[in-house]
Amino acid sequence: MTTLQTEVLVIGGGATGAGVAWDAALRGFDTILVDRRDLGEGTSGRFHGLLHSGGRYAVKDPHAATECIEENLILRHIASDTIEDTGGLFVSTPDDDPAYGDRFLQGCKDTGVPAEEVDVAEVLKREPRLNPRIKRAFTVPDANIDAWKCIWALADGATRHGARILTYHSVVALHRDGDAVTGARLRNELTGEELDVEAGFTLSAAGAWAAEIAHMAGVEGVRVAPGKGIMIAMNHRLVNTVVNRCTMPADGDILVPIRTVSVIGTTDIRTAHPDEIPVTQEEVDQMLDDGETLVPGFRDARALRVWAGVRPLFEDVKTGDTESTRDIGRSHAVLDHLERDGLKGFVTMTGGKWTTFRLMAQDMVDVMCRQLGEDRACRTREERLPGSEDGETYQLGHRLRVRERELQDEQLVCECELISRSRLETAMRERGTANLDDIRRNLRLGMGPCQGGFCIYRATGMLHAIGRQDGPSAAGSLVSFLQERWKGVWPILYGDQLRQARLDDWIYQGALDVEHAPATAPVGAAPPEVREAAADGLKVSAA
Ligand SMILES: Cc1cc2nc3c(=O)[nH]c(=O)nc-3n(C[C@H](O)[C@H](O)[C@H](O)COP(=O)(O)OP(=O)(O)OC[C@H]3O[C@@H](n4cnc5c(N)ncnc54)[C@H](O)[C@@H]3O)c2cc1C
């Protein structure tokens, strides 16, 4: 069996784990980061896209609000290329108590969140689709952040400082030597091969799965309540500013414009297991109704895709539980298992928010340094990530500008997301993956209105042509991609998206008959049970 050696093993390749690997590598630790799937496939790739200003927590959770605004400012500096500075609004809709606005303003003042009341008529000029009956409006420095761009920049930065990134490697056991954790047994999910990592320190950043990892170390009493939330992407930017309802945090009260779409969310429902997060029709209907409150006519707009994620909400069994996950604090919890359980070489991080991942990583690596007696300062406040060296934030229209420059020389593979052939080919070669879904996350391939309808057969042909896959495995990649997309489309089949789904169906089932293509499962595909469920969906669409 292969054995790898490292000073630090990081479990979990979400925002937190990637942030921890970046932080540890910058402090000069030899680091390995592992994830059971691709980077950002857990909650971090399924979130709402909001870089919080802290306004949302200003009244209810002042500590979280202050953390958010501080981290918001730091991330704008170190990860500028992944952030679009849309600005944010808090608005009192006709269903909200306008007096809450005063508490909101006071809360922002107390927590350091810059907020200002603005003229409603001006706001409606700026955002003409907003409910014309809003009574008050406040500006805050909300923004959006591109999950995968940021996580891959963290991973890239860590790699440049010597870290090794192992995707599709599950931790199946933790090794213990007396009162110390000494590493982990991994399973390569692509080959089935097992390998050992001998690590001086093991840092668990497994989010909603943190309790499972703690259990592997023999630690009991760590409980993470998975709080499910659903979000719906609408096919264009109904607003250009992040819009929050000015009320206590509730369901469906934020609309985030990100890239070419806008995303309404979210719910918060306790679920039994982080891998079981089905989307129900009732949740979809509630979300569309909530959208109407912010933007009248919301239901008539075209919904592109729905998905769900799970909040890793830490519950300390010693201090008692709460049943509603929205009431569990959004701050993070770093568990020093030496202090808590007498176990050396092992720290757990859970809870928190995307916006605060850098701080969480810093806290976690600080705890490790303390245990090791090492005095190595954190550098992630100042050090810019690869791609963000010039400090420029992402500008909407960037891809179009690039596209217009190369109009005559380049074929366009994905019209919705303006992805050229050379860009896609480069990504396929550099990622070293033949899984189209992995490439989707890097380039946003197939994420526009046709949900892959017109680009995925072209991308499949390219995979085959550049020699990454033989015919059956390329066909397997294609089917797997379609099944993944279908999971997010079927709960919102109405209006134009239903027409689009029928067209896609004619292309793939009618013209190409993909269901009967001699396909093998692609590397890194969803597990068999997920594939089967999705395949059933595909057949329903063909009926
Ligand atoms: C619906 C919803 C909307 C949200 N919106 C926002 C928002 O707009 N703004 C914001 O700031 N925050 C938001 N959050 C919170 C935020 O998304 C999460 O707090 C954050 O993404 C958690 O990141 P993480 O890295 O800790 O966990 P994850 O991203 O879940 O990463 C954990 C990783 O561990 C891996 N893993 C699990 N088990 C194993 C194993 N055995 N071996 C190897 N790897 C393993 C998983 O594959 C996963 O990739 C939202 C959360 C939800 C649910």
Model confidence over 314-325: pLDDT tens digits? 876 744 444 334
Query: Does the pLDDT of residue 516 top 90, yes or no?
Result: no
Which atom of ligand 1 lies closest to the CA of 354? 11
Could you tell me which residues come within 8 angstroms of residue 103 by beta carbon, excluding any fewer than 6 positions away?
59
Which atom of ligand 1 lies closest to the CA of 19? 25
Q: Decide: 309 in ligand 1 pocket, CB within 6 A.
A: yes
Which among 353, 362, 363 is the best mutation to test ligand 1's pocket, defined by most ligand atoms within 8 Å of the CB?
A: 353
Instruction: State the CATH class of domain 84-144+227-312.
Output: alpha beta
CA of 56 to the centre of ligand 1 (A): 19
Which among 35, 41, 43 is the best mutation to test ligand 1's pocket, defined by most ligand atoms within 8 Å of the CB?
A: 43
Q: Decide: 12 in ligand 1 pocket, CB within 6 A.
A: yes
pLDDT category of residue 530 using cuts at 50, 70 and 90: very low
Which atom of ligand 1 lies closest to the CA of 355? 11
CA of 163 to the centre of ligand 1 (A): 21
pLDDT category of residue 538 using cuts at 50, 70 and 90: very low
For atom 49 of ligand 1, the residue with the nearest CA is 42
- 88-108 residue pLDDT tens: 999 999 999 999 999 999 999
Query: Does the pLDDT of residue 534 top 70, yes or no?
Result: no
What is the model's pLDDT at position 327? Answer: 42
Query: Does the pLDDT of residue 504 top 80, yes or no?
Result: yes
Instruction: Identify the H or E element spanning 57.
Output: none
Burial grade of 366 (CB within 10 A; 0-12, 13-18, 19 or more): middle
- Cβ–Cβ under 8 Å, residues 504 and 450: yes
For atom 50 of ligand 1, the residue with the nearest CA is 47
- 341-399 residue pLDDT tens: 999 999 999 899 999 999 999 999 999 999 999 999 999 999 999 999 999 999 988 88
CA of 13 to the centre of ligand 1 (A): 9
> N- to C-terminal Cα distance for the chain?
48
CA of 85 to the centre of ligand 1 (A): 23
Q: Decide: 47 in ligand 1 pocket, CB within 6 A.
A: yes
Mean pLDDT, the chain, as a whole number?
90
What is the model's pLDDT at position 521? Answer: 63
pLDDT category of residue 448 using cuts at 50, 70 and 90: confident
- Cβ–Cβ under 8 Å, residues 57 and 140: no
- Cβ–Cβ under 8 Å, residues 306 and 488: yes
CA of 25 to the centre of ligand 1 (A): 21
Interior angle at CA 14, CA 11 and CA 16, nearest 5: 80
- Cβ–Cβ under 8 Å, residues 354 and 371: no
Which atom of ligand 1 lies closest to the CA of 311? 53
What is the model's pLDDT at position 431? Answer: 83
CA of 126 to the centre of ligand 1 (A): 33
Q: Decide: 171 in ligand 1 pocket, CB within 6 A.
A: yes
Query: Does the pLDDT of residue 537 top 80, yes or no?
Result: no
Q: Decide: 53 in ligand 1 pocket, CB within 6 A.
A: no
What is the model's pLDDT at position 522? Answer: 54
The average pLDDT across 194-200 equals: 98
User: What is the domain partition of the chain in residue ranges?
Assistant: 84-144+227-312, 398-516
CA of 102 to the centre of ligand 1 (A): 33
Which atom of ligand 1 lies closest to the CA of 147? 21
- The answer to whether the pTM exceeds 0.85 is yes
Sign of the alpha-carbon dihedral angle for 369, 315, 70, 21: positive
